[in-house]
Amino acid sequence: MAARDIALIDETCCDAITLCPTCFGHLNKVKSTLIFNENIRKIVASTLKSINKEFKGTSRIEHFVSMLLRDLGLEKIKNTVIKPLNRLKVAPFYGCHILRPSELRMVDNPEEPKLLDSLIKITGAALLEYSEKRSCCGAPVMNFNEKLALKILREKLKSIQETGANAIVTICPFCHVHFDINQASMKDEFEEEYYLPVLHYTQLLGLAQGLSPEELGLNENRVPVDEVLKIIS
C-alpha cells in the first residue's frame, strides 16, 4: 500500500508533505527498502504492474516541519509574523516518530532536538523546558492498555503544568488528539484535573500570522483555548 502511495506521488512529479510523523517515517522506510532491496523491489513491482503503477522513488517525502525549515527557512517564516505572541508561554512536545529511528528520519538530533523550539521562537512565544518533551505521549498503546496510556499522559501533563505553560504545542496529530481529548479522563482515573490548551504548531503559527481562531479551527479543540486567545489579544 505504501509503495502504491509513493507511485502515485511519483506520477505527480512533485514532492510530498505529510502532517503525520508516522506516515512520514513509514513512507520513507518503504522507499528506502525498495531502492536498496532488489528482491522486495521485484515483488512489489509485479504487484504494482497489475494496477498499472510503477515505483520510481524519485519524489521527496517530507514532514511539514522539516519542509518549513529546509525549504522556507526561519527568516522567511518570521517575516510572515504580524502579531508576535510575546505574552504566551508554551511547552513544546516532539513525541516519538519525528525523531526516531534517526537513521531514517534525519530531521534533527534525537537527543537534543531544536527544530520545534526554533519554529516556536519565531512566533514570539516563550519556550519552556521540561524533561518529558521528547518521550512518547502514550497514544500508541491506547488501544490495548488504556490505563498505561493515560498514566504516560499524566506524567507529561504534570511536568508541563509545573512549568507554568499556557499551552502545549505539538507537531504530531496523534499526540495532539491524545493530549486534547484525554485530559478529560484524568479526573476519573487519577482524581486530577488539567485544562492545558493544545495547539498544533500550524495553529500557533497561524495566530502569529494574524489568522482568526475560526480559520485555524480552534473551536474544534476539546480543551478550550479561550485563555490563550485572551493572553494574545
Per-residue pLDDT, 13 = 92
* pTM tops 0.85, yes or no: yes
Closest CA to 21 of 160, 136, 117, 152: 136
- Same domain for 27 and 84, yes or no, is no
Say whether pLDDT at 12 is over 80.
Answer: yes
Per the structure, the complete domain to which residue 15 belongs is given by 2-59
Q: Are 228 and 199 in contact (CB under 8 A)?
A: yes
18: pLDDT confidence band, cut at 50, 70 and 90?
very high
Per-residue pLDDT, 56 = 94
79: pLDDT confidence band, cut at 50, 70 and 90?
very high
| DSSP-assigned letter for residue 125 | P
- Same domain for 164 and 97, yes or no, is yes
In this structure, the number of other CB atoms found within 10 A of the CB of residue 98 comes to 25
- Same domain for 83 and 161, yes or no, is yes
In the chain, the number of structural domains is: 2
Q: Of 35, 59, 83, which one is at a domain's C-terminal end? A: 59
Q: Are 156 and 124 in contact (CB under 8 A)?
A: no
Per-residue pLDDT, 108 = 66
- Same domain for 69 and 173, yes or no, is yes
- Same domain for 96 and 175, yes or no, is yes
Say whether pLDDT at 184 is over 70.
Answer: yes
pLDDT digits over 200-230, tens only? 999 999 999 999 999 999 999 999 999 999 9
d(CA 170, CA 181) in angstroms, rounded, equals: 14
Per-residue pLDDT, 66 = 85
Q: Are 86 and 121 in contact (CB under 8 A)?
A: no
Per-residue pLDDT, 115 = 87
Element housing 169 (H / E): strand 167-170
Q: Of 15, 38, 59, which one is at a domain's C-terminal end? A: 59
d(CA 115, CA 96) in angstroms, rounded, equals: 14
Q: What is the average per-residue pLDDT within 172-193?
A: 95
- Same domain for 12 and 115, yes or no, is no
- Same domain for 54 and 81, yes or no, is no
d(CA 68, CA 124) in angstroms, rounded, equals: 17
- Same domain for 79 and 25, yes or no, is no
pLDDT > 90 fraction of the chain, expressed in percent and rounded: 82
Say whether pLDDT at 155 is over 80.
Answer: yes
Average pLDDT, the chain: 92
HSE at residue 27, side-chain half, CA atoms within 13 A, is 26
- Same domain for 55 and 137, yes or no, is no
Least confident piece of the model among 108-117, 149-158, 170-179, 208-217: 108-117
The amino acid that residue 161 corresponds to is: Q
Say whether pLDDT at 194 is over 70.
Answer: yes
Q: How far, in Å, are 66, 191, 226 from residue 221 at the CA level?
A: 25, 23, 11
State the first-to-last Cα distance of the chain, in angstroms, to the nearest integer. Answer: 46
- Same domain for 203 and 111, yes or no, is yes
Say whether pLDDT at 137 is over 80.
Answer: yes
> Directed axis angle between helix 2-12 and helix 21-36, to 10°?
90
Per-residue pLDDT, 106 = 57
pLDDT digits over 82-130, tens only? 999 999 999 999 888 777 666 655 566 666 778 899 999 999 999 999 9
